[in-house]
Chains A and B, each alone.
Chain A
Amino acid sequence: MNIKEQIVSKITSFPTLPVMANRLLHALNDPELASADIAKVIQYDPALTANVLKAANSAFLGFRNPVNSISEAAFRLGTKWIFQIAISSLIYSNLKKPIPGYDLDEEKLWKHSLAVALMSEALCALLRVRDSGSIYTGALLHDIGKAVIGEFVSAHFDEVQSLIDSRKITFEKAEEEVMGIDHAELGALIAENWRFPALIIDCIRWHHSPDSAPNITPAIDIVHIADSISLMEGFGYGRDELQYQFSDKSAARMNVNSNIIELAVSQTVMTLEDIENIFKDMPAARNGQEVRK
């Protein structure tokens, strides 16, 4: 087996997502289901319900009267908010582990992923792009490939870095040259294995190369821009540092200017720490029935 085959073979042994994540995502994309049905899906899972209620009652939201049920949380905070908290708490355990290849300590990839998700959310609002939750989820999972490719990066880091230094190419291009696959493509394969909706898979696959996508969507551009800004601002990056490129074409397609970028940064930094605190001692979502191929 060459390196790429070894890496890809790890996908099937990678922890599966709780089946609930898929149910939520498909509910989101099912035109037959009203938004209130998201609340019903969450209510089926007691552990997930407990996590959402814990978040709804966190100090930073400052409700005087406690939120007692999912439907009440949906009423007070909106369906989108409870979806975001629910999907984040389901993905949390897959992202919080340390990834030595990238020098990412415990919680660091999680912090970066959450920053990119919140930054995407801020950009959607500023650019008036409607997101029912798929962009948020794509942003949250954009670097999931790092969790698998990390150990291989560890073994080949010097090769990757010397290629970057000599040829001035980006980190993900060097990954691909040395190992035959980069963390974005690998992440997309993981999400395909999880049977995620195509829109989310595209956000993951093209987050460093939006211009190469055969079908460029606002979702792809938003996640790319949000990731670039988060890297710039130092929200949880590792050994790959800032060795990536920001696509000016992507910015032009979305009509993004420096004002919008700076506004998105100022909004994200205010909520990032509060949302991080919500998750700090949140129990991992129950990994009930696993998603099998």
Chain B
Amino acid sequence: MALLVIGISDYQVSTKPEDVMITYSLGSCIGLTAYDPIAKIGGMIHYMLPLSQIAPEKAMAKPAMFADTGVPALLRDLFSLGAQKSRIIVKAAGGSQLMDQNKIFNIGERNFLILRKILWKNNILLKANDVGGVISRTLRFEIDTGRLLVKSSRGEAEL
């Protein structure tokens, strides 16, 4: 089994059933997995911010920093490896906030809102999500089965 750690502002794809992807400490960031169960191809992204327009040069260097550049890049890579859009299963977790947080500064909420728009525009359904709260989440994603485990202080559960 190869353990692939997805860092902050990073994404990876894999066609190897033995691979397991992990991402740690999702606060307002969002961890998204996309998986084709027939081709057994999957990928994971850990993005921090909603829109790249605030810093286009950063988006060039690190597309996975932003939802609007990172999520399409992840999907493109999966499709080029043979994943089919009609079969793709997308799940998301993270998007936490501080207590009683004002909407203007709520990066987590904006991160999730933009994600839904991107998926909606691309005609892709969000199969499951575990978003919000004041907790930190760690994700574990198995390429062989597509299983996604979400771990936090509340315990561990499959999404």
Contacts and interface: CB of A to CB of B under 8 A. Distances in A.
B61 interface: yes
Interface stretch (B34-42, B95-103, B120-128, B142-150): B95-103
B99 A244 contact: yes
A233 B105 contact: no
A236 B105 contact: no
A232 B24 CA distance: 13
Given A228-B98, A237-B25, A266 B136 contact: no
Interface in A226-281: 228, 231-237, 239, 241-246, 248, 251, 257-259, 261-263, 265-267, 269-270, 273
Interface in B22-62: 24-29, 48-50, 54-55, 58, 61-62
B54 A266 contact: yes
A183 to B, nearest CB: 16
Given A231-B27, A234-B28, A270-B61, A262 B99 contact: no
A232 B136 contact: no
B89 interface: no
The bracket for how many chain A residues form the interface is 20 to 34
A236 B25 contact: yes
A170 interface: yes
A76 interface: no
Contact of B62 (A234, A236, A270): A270
A10 interface: no
B28 A243 contact: no
A262 B58 CA distance: 12
Contact of A242 (B8, B9, B97): B97
A286 interface: no
Contacts of A239: 153
Contacts of B27: 231-234, 237, 242
A262 B135 contact: no
B134 interface: yes
Interface of A: 168, 170, 228, 231-237, 239, 241-246, 248, 251, 257-259, 261-263, 265-267, 269-270, 273
Q: Enumerate the 10 nearest inter-chain pairs by beta-carbon distance, A residue then B residue, closest first.
A: A234-B27, A234-B25, A242-B134, A232-B28, A266-B55, A266-B58, A246-B98, A241-B136, A262-B54, A248-B102
Interface of B: 7-9, 24-29, 48-50, 54-55, 58, 61-62, 65, 96-102, 104-105, 107-108, 110, 134-136, 153
